[in-house]
Each structure stands twice: as C-alpha cells, then as structure tokens.
Structure 1
Amino acid sequence: MAAATAPVVPGPGRRRTPEEVRRGDGKAALGFLTPGALGFLAFTLFPVLASLVMSFFDWPVLGSPTFTGLGNYVELFTTDDTFRTAVLNTLLFVVLYVPVNIVVSMGLAVWISPRIKGRRYYRVLFFIPAVTPMVGNAVVFTLLLTPNGLVDSTMTSLFGVGAPNFLGSSTWAIPAVVLLSVWQGFGYNLLVFSAALDAVPPHLVEAAEIDGAGAFRRFFHVVLPLLSPSIFFATVLTLISSFQVFTQSYVLTGGGPGNSTTTLVMYLYQSGFQFFRLGFASAVAWVLFVFIMVVTAVQFIGQKRWVHYDQ
C-alpha cells in the first residue's frame, strides 16, 4: 500500500533579504527626494551660483554683459558711499535689534511660566505678530508713528509734548524700524524659550532654593545656564534674519530720510531692480553672505565658552 502524501500547506511569502530591503528603501527614498532635490537645484543652487558668476560682470538687464573681474567689489569698498552707509545702518540695526529681541522674548517667556493661568493663550497671543504679514504690520506702525498719528496724539493729550518724528528724523528712523521688528519677531523666540523653561529639571531649582538662593540667583545661576543652548539657537537665527532686514525699512521709511535706514538688502534691491545693475547687486549679495557666514562662524566658535549642553 502506497504511503499517503502529506498535503502541501501554503506558507507565508518569502521574506526579503536585508540587501533587498535596503535596495527597496533606497528606491522609495529616491522617489520622495527627487522632486525636492530638483526644486533645490533649480530655484536655490543654480541661482546662487549664477549670482556668483554675475558678480564678476557688468551685467545690465538689456545688452551684453562685460567681464569686470573684481571691479564690482572694488567699487563697493572704495568709492561707494551708499554701500558704506548701508553697512553701518545694518550693523546698527543688528546691535539694537538682537539684544532687545532676546531680552523681551526671555522676559515674557519667564513671565508666562507654568505657574501663570492661561499660559497657552498668552503663547498664542504673543505669537500672532510673528505669523502676520510684515507689510501689514509696517502699514499699521506707519499709521501709529506718523506725525498726528495715534502715538503723537496720545503723548500730546497726556503730557502736552508731541512724539518725535519717528519716520522723518534720521535719529529716530532706525529705532522705529527696530520697534517694528521686535514686535514682529519676538513671538518665535518666546516659544523657544518657553519650551526650554519647561524642560528645566525642577529638582535643581528646588535644591538651589533649599540652599538659600533667592529668585534672581536661582534664575541667573541655575536656570539661565540650562537655557544656554536655546539662547544660542535663538541668537544665531535672530542675527541671520536681522542682517537680511528689508521689508521693515522699505515699507516704513522707504530707506529714508536720506539713506538713514537703507540696509544692505535694500541697497541690493535698489541696485538690481531700480538701477538694473544685476552684477553689482550680486556683488552686494555675496558681501552680505560673507558677513553672515563670518558672524555665524564666530558664534559657533565662541559657544564653547558659554553654552552648556549637559545638565
């Protein structure tokens, strides 16, 4: 009698080898990354490299470009007084804006600590200016700061003295731009600092309090060092953005009075799109790029002295 044959039970499909898994994942990743990579190449990398090439040419909008070598850069640093004014204005804005932004953001983040009621609503309220259009905020501030505007009328009625001519005075124009920029930008850093404060270990603060440290000593000697990575992150991003200030000056003062609020990016815009000197504007852009890279590199080198990543 022939032996019975055992029925064949279909088993699960063959499992892929690790090499096949890696190959399949690589193809999937390539498919997802290709559109973004093509967009980056077409709209970021190629324009950046093209602007570097253009900076060595006298490149009008109409007509043939003429190779000038370092001529645009030589003109910037030797004979262009407006460029020097724009550099000084940009540096003045950075020096005024960055500390005020960090201090205001940190102060409000400490104020809406976990002990205050409705802190989530305060976070939303303070973050609203950061997501509103800069042009709209600039128009509102123009109405507030213009002569006979709300600020001027309020000071006249309360104190009998009018407000300074913020938009028409070369002394007050930069502070007006700084004020608008702080209003627009402090909300983002506030969220960064607020999240960092939530991550501070409570037992460290409690131990300092038990040792007799007051509120100021607990903040400056315990909390603030733990916040140093967040402060470094916020400072780097705020510095980079402050060097690129444009919309505030363009809408609020138009670069005036005179050239008192003309910044590097505004001068770049004027050179390229008003005077149609594309090569010269590209040179301004690359000088600005070098400024930002140097400042950022100095920050990363100096962080070893004051940023503490270990709790």
Structure 2
Amino acid sequence: MQLGKKKYAYAGYLYILPWILGFLILQLYPLISSFWYSFTDFQLLGSAKFVGLKNYKTIFLADKNFLQSLKVTMYYVLIAVPCKIAFALAIAVILNQKIRSINLFRTLYYIPSILGGSVAISVLWKYLFMNQGTVNNLLAVVGIPPHDWLGDPVLALGTISLVTVWQFGSSMLLFLAGLKQIPECLYEAARIDGAGKVRIFWKITIPELSPIVLFNLVMQMINAFQDFTPAFVITQGGPLKSTYLYGLMLYNQGFKFFKMGYASALSWILFFIILLFTSLTFKSSESWVHYGDTL
C-alpha cells in the first residue's frame, strides 16, 4: 500500500510540475529580480550597480511625473471601476430576464471583454473619438457641435476610461451567476409585503450580491491601476499628461529610457499602492458585504 501511495504521489507531482516550473521561472524569479533591481541603476543594455534607496528618493522627491501619473491613475480608477461595475450589474439584471434568444444576447454582451484590451480595439477607439471620427459625425446629425474628445485635457481621461468600461463582460457573468442563486422566496415575500421593484433591488438584490460586488471591485481596481494600453495607443499620455497613467510612465522608464532599475522601483511602489487600496477595500467590506448567514 505504501508503494502504491508513493507512486500516486509521484504522479501528482509530475502533473503539477509544469505549473511549478512556470511559477518559479516566470513569476517568482522575476519578482525577486525586480526587487533587487529597484536598488540599482540597472540599464537595459548594461550591468546593474547597487545604489541603495536612490531610485526611491528620486521618485518621491524629484520626479514630478510620478505625482502627475499617480493623480491621473487615481482619477482613472475612480472613473472606470465604479462605472464598469454599475454597467455590468445593470446588464446582468437585464439578461437575467426570461426572454427569447437570451443566450445569444449574453454571448454578444460578453464579446467586448475578449477584444477590449487589445491594441486593435484601442486603435479603433482612437478613430471613433478623433475630431472627424464616428462619434462627432453622429453628434453632428442631431445638431450637437463636435468635441475634441482626445485633445481636451478635461475630456481625454474619461474618453479612454470608456475602453475599460466597455470590457464589462467578465463582471457581468459573475453578477448573472449571483442573480441566479438568489432564492425566489425572498422576492415573493417582499412583494407580498408591498415592496416595489426599486426597494426590492436595494434591500434584497444588492445585499445578496455584495460578495460578488466586493470581488469585482477588488479585481477591477487591481486591473485599472495597471492599465497601460489605452493611454499608450490612444493618447500617448497627452494632452498635457492628462492621461499619463502610471503604467505608461513605468513603461517609458523601462523601455523608452532603458532605466530598468528605476522602472523596477516604480513597479514596487505600484505594488504597495495596490496592496494598500485592496486592504482598505477588504476592511471597509465588513460594513457593507453580507453573506448568507449574516443577512
């Protein structure tokens, strides 16, 4: 029996070996390396020289782009994440209705999440919102003057945020799955008591979905902090650095100026920023997330 158990154990280790190798080579090693490089002046085509906390001091005390990119990224997260979650929930509620060809509609609404993060979609978005683009042409049809969506510092960040909001499919599927799990008896009891649709939504649907709201909030917030493609492809950080996301700054330092040590320090600062906001979100969830045994 012991030999048989060892045989099965070895077989199990063999099955998970690709994952272990992938984790060690593609995740753990780069993580440790970037932490070491953050204390060096490592150039992409040169050798690394230890400089201690110099990179971090420069970032916090002398780099004006750091504060600008951080401010822009905060605004971006505040715009994109709530809008994306709210839109995903609204579509999930609609797709939870019993109507014909509902599965087709669910598939169609999920497609943007497959395509939305690609460079091609960002290029398409750029052409949609350019001065002579489709959006301005449609506005002209109804008599609304054109807007400089990508050239106006006030409008540019909101415009590229729509690319992220458009990718609501994964959050929508989670909300849809959660709606399917809410007991119908709760709605029946509320209707018998005379509750309207709005009250039912806020008093039953939202509390029941609050764990999924928490999950979507955390995941989308992490993704938004790391977003890079829309700012890089659509606006290149302009105008006047109004869309200069943190991810774009990190990319420029590492692959445009070849300052990999400096970029590594920026990446670790971003890691701790995400960790801080994630921790605060989990801490706040104690007051608004309700689980089945706490309702």
Query: TM-score w.r.t. structure 1 length?
Result: 0.91
Give the unaligned 5+ runs of structure 1. 1-16
Contact 1:245 1:263 in 2 (8 A): yes
Distance 1:293 1:218 in 2: 35
Hey, what does 2:13 align to over in structure 1? 30
1:260 aligned counterpart, secondary structure = coil
When residues 73 and 124 of structure 1 are mapped into structure 2, their CA distance, relative to the original with a 3 A threshold, is same
- Counterpart of 1:264 (choices 221, 246, 251) is 246
Hey, what does 1:279 align to over in structure 2? 261
Hey, what does 1:71 align to over in structure 2? 54
Hey, what does 1:8 align to over in structure 2? none
Paired residue type of 2:271: F
Larger RCO (CA within 8 A; separation ≥ 6): 2
Hey, what does 1:82 align to over in structure 2? 65
Contact 1:147 1:165 in 2 (8 A): yes
Deviations 1:198-252 (A, max 9, x none): 1100011101111111111111111211111111111111111010110011111
- Counterpart of 2:119 (choices 135, 138, 147) is 135
- Counterpart of 1:103 (choices 73, 86, 99) is 86
When residues 219 and 75 of structure 1 are mapped into structure 2, their CA distance, relative to the original with a 3 A threshold, is same
Distance 1:228 1:55 in 2: 38
1:159 aligned counterpart, secondary structure = coil
2:168 aligned counterpart, secondary structure = helix
Hey, what does 1:161 align to over in structure 2? 145
1:66 aligned counterpart, secondary structure = coil
Hey, what does 1:177 align to over in structure 2? 160
Paired residue type of 2:192: I
Distance 1:177 1:64 in 2: 37
Q: CA RMSD in A?
A: 1.3
Paired residue type of 1:59: F
Identity rate, percent: 35
Contact 1:114 1:198 in 2 (8 A): no
When residues 160 and 298 of structure 1 are mapped into structure 2, their CA distance, relative to the original with a 3 A threshold, is closer
Hey, what does 1:254 align to over in structure 2? 236
Distance 1:62 1:111 in 2: 54
- Counterpart of 1:188 (choices 155, 165, 170) is 170
Which structure: larger Rg?
1
When residues 203 and 20 of structure 1 are mapped into structure 2, their CA distance, relative to the original with a 3 A threshold, is farther
- Counterpart of 2:44 (choices 61, 67, 70) is 61
Distance 2:27 2:255 in 1: 19
1:196 aligned counterpart, secondary structure = helix
Deviates more, 1:289-298 or 1:45-54: 289-298
Distance 1:119 1:157 in 2: 32
Query: TM-score w.r.t. structure 2 length?
Result: 0.95
Distance 2:3 2:47 in 1: 54
- Counterpart of 1:120 (choices 103, 123, 144) is 103
How far has the Cα of 1:75 moved from its partner?
0.6
Paired residue type of 2:281: Q
Hey, what does 2:285 align to over in structure 1? 303
Contact 1:55 1:279 in 2 (8 A): yes
Give the unaligned 5+ runs of structure 2. none
How far has the Cα of 1:306 moved from its partner?
1.5
